């Protein structure tokens, strides 16, 4: 039975609580940058799989707004589920070298088949501004 993707999230950091559960810190869907190119680092990607059995290969691609050009690929990584009730997270620590503003895309694949695509907006921000939270900003590259 092929597993299903329960969630795919990007966040700033990851911790484990006393019960062993993952704690996601700073989940985001929009990146603000004062200029391009820029580097967003660290970025934590977590994909959570369940409902299947067997051995698979998963990877995640980050694409430019053209939805064709891959600028980062996480994986491939083995994904092994021993029962349909098992929940397996895959976690990647990434550096995202951003090349242009716009709607970038995140594509999750299982055995080279697309399971999910979702948008990740990269928007310009003017500095200085009291309304901008420093944690939301990306440092300019170069």
In sequence order, the 6+-apart residues with CB closer than 8 A to the CB of 141 are 37, 38, 39, 97, 98
pLDDT number for residue 139: 52
Distance CA 63, CA 48 (A): 20
pLDDT number for residue 12: 92
Per-residue pLDDT reduced to its tens digit, 81-132 = 999 999 999 999 999 999 999 999 999 999 999 999 999 999 998 877 555 5
Closest CA to 31 of 92, 84, 106: 106
Whether residue 137 has pLDDT greater than 80: no
* CATH homologous superfamily for the domain 4-140: Macroglobulin (MG2) domain (2.60.40.1930)
| Contact status, residue 77 vs residue 88, Cβ threshold 8 Å | no
Distances (CA, A) of 101 to 43, 96, 132: 17, 13, 17
Q: How many CB atoms lie within 10 A of CB 138?
A: 21
Per-residue pLDDT reduced to its tens digit, 22-77 = 888 888 889 999 999 999 988 999 999 999 999 999 999 999 999 999 999 999 99
In sequence order, the 6+-apart residues with CB closer than 8 A to the CB of 4 are 49, 50, 51, 52
| Contact status, residue 27 vs residue 9, Cβ threshold 8 Å | yes
pLDDT number for residue 50: 95
In sequence order, the 6+-apart residues with CB closer than 8 A to the CB of 113 are none
Closest CA to 118 of 47, 12, 51: 47
């Amino acid at each position: 039975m092929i597993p299903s993707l329960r969630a795919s999230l990007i966040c700033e950091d990851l911790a484990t609580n006393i019960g062993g559960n993952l704690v996601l810190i700073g989940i985001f869907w929009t990146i603000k940058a004062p200029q391009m190119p820029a580097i967003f680092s660290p970025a934590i990607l977590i994909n959570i799989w369940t409902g299947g059995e067997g051995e698979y290969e998963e990877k995640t691609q980050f694409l430019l707004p053209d939805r064709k050009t891959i600028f980062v690929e996480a994986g491939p990584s083995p994904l092994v589920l021993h029962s349909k009730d098992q929940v397996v997270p895959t976690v990647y620590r990434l550096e995202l070298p951003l090349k242009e503003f716009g709607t970038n895309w995140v594509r999750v694949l299982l055995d080279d088949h697309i399971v999910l695509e979702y948008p990740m907006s990269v928007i310009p921000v003017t500095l200085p501004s009291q309304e901008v939270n420093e944690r939301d900003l990306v440092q300019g590259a170069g």
